């Protein structure tokens, strides 16, 4: 058995090498992403492990299939950039890693909220300028707030446990109710109800056509004045222009974004200077003391990276051996 793994970063390589040694399976690590220029490297291999924001185009998938590769394992959750028609036409079986570390994403989400509530970005700037005054930057306490969780999957539930640990009241909305949470009575009947009750809105929903720009001008108008918004999920959930308007008029007190709707080609890139960042709306947000932006790093812990690599390799091995695996994605 031979597996090729595309887009392998330096931080992933030790976990790939350890898996290869433990399993006694040859794994070729390629630093480049899977595309028209690199797909030919897969010839002679039995399966491919991949991770990228670029599209898995029909032409690339057709070429993989022409090499006899039908086992494709993603090291991430999302499959929205995979050409579903090409997958079906070529008879691919695709796996993902649906939960590499929900706790990692939940921990950063709550950390960023606490930074906003305690005004640490403001105090950092003041102290750098030699200003050690308290006022007027008085803080708020999470334990006296109601947090609205949007989507109660693994990450939403992990975040919920942390919010509860701070003493916050937690409510949630999800089309699909978790039976245990149902017993607790935390679900509200609509997003409008969540908007009306929540002091903090924590987004953990997937990107779907129905969820695109879930938070728009109309949604913001239904929220409490001074609401806090957290998005570690998908950039498309928030209408950026509407968010900027809500920040400008004070409807939104502050925001923590680990994702951004136009992040592809911008996040995980070193532009050399702030001015060189080629997105004016993003720079508008980043300049604000009440907005925290991280470049899609909520997942980026040693535990999560190890799980992403080794779970994907396990999936690929299972696909090659049996034609199926634990985390098969249906198209």
- What residues are annotated to the active site? 234, 263, 296
For the sheet containing 291-293, what is the strand order? 169-173, 146-150, 200-203, 227-231, 252-257, 291-293
Peptide bond into 101 cis (omega under 30): no
d(CA 106, CA 204): 9
d(CA 89, CA 298): 35
For the sheet containing 26-29, what is the strand order? 26-29, 2-5, 47-50, 71-74, 93-95, 328-329
Task: Give the DSSP H/E element, type plus range, for residue 293.
Answer: strand 291-293
Cβ partners under 8 Å of residue 181, min gap 6:
152, 157, 160, 172, 187
**Of the candidates 5, 72, 71, 63, which has an alpha carbon nearest to the alpha carbon of residue 33?**
5
Length of the chain: 331
User: 317-328 burial, b if ≥16 CB within 10 A, otherwise e?
Assistant: bbbbeeeebebb
Half-sphere CA count of 164, side-chain side, radius 13 A:
13
The alpha carbons of the chain give a radius of gyration, in whole angstroms, of 22
Residue 208 tokens, joined: 């779907």
């Amino acid at each position: 058995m031979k597996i090729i793994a595309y887009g392998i970063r330096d931080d992933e390589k030790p976990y790939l090498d350890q898996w290869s040694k433990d399993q006694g399976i040859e794994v070729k690590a390629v630093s480049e992403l899977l595309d028209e220029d690199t797909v030919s490297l897969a010839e002679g291999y039995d399966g491919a492990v991949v991770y990228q924001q670029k599209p898995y185009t029909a032409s690339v998938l057709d070429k993989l299939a022409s090499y006899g590769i039908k086992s494709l394992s993603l090291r991430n959750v999302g499959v929205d950039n995979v050409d579903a028609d090409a997958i079906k036409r070529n008879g691919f079986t695709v796996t993902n890693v649906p939960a590499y570390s929900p706790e990692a994403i939940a921990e950063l989400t709550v950390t960023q909220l606490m930074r906003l509530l305690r005004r640490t970005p403001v105090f950092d700037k003041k102290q750098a300028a030699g200003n050690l005054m308290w006022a007027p930057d008085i803080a708020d306490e999470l334990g006296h707030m109601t947090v609205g969780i949007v989507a109660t999957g693994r990450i939403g539930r992990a975040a919920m446990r942390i919010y509860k640990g701070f003493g916050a009241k937690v409510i949630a909305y999800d089309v699909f109710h978790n039976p245990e949470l149902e017993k607790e009575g935390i679900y509200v009947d609509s997003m409008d109800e969540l908007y009306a009750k929540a002091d903090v809105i924590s987004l953990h929903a997937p990107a779907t056509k129905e969820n695109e720009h879930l938070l728009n001008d109309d949604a913001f108008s239904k929220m409490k004045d001074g609401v806090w918004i957290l998005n570690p999920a998908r950039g498309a959930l928030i209408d950026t222009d509407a968010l900027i308007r809500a920040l400008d008029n004070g409807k939104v007190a502050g925001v923590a974004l680990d994702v951004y709707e136009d992040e592809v080609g911008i996040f995980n890139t070193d532009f050399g200077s702030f001015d060189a960042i080629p997105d004016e709306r993003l720079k508008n947000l980043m300049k604000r003391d009440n907005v925290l932006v991280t470049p899609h790093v909520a997942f980026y812990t040693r535990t999560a990276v190890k799980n992403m690599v080794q779970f994907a390799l396990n999936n690929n091995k299972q696909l090659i051996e049996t034609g199926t695996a634990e985390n098969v994605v249906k198209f």
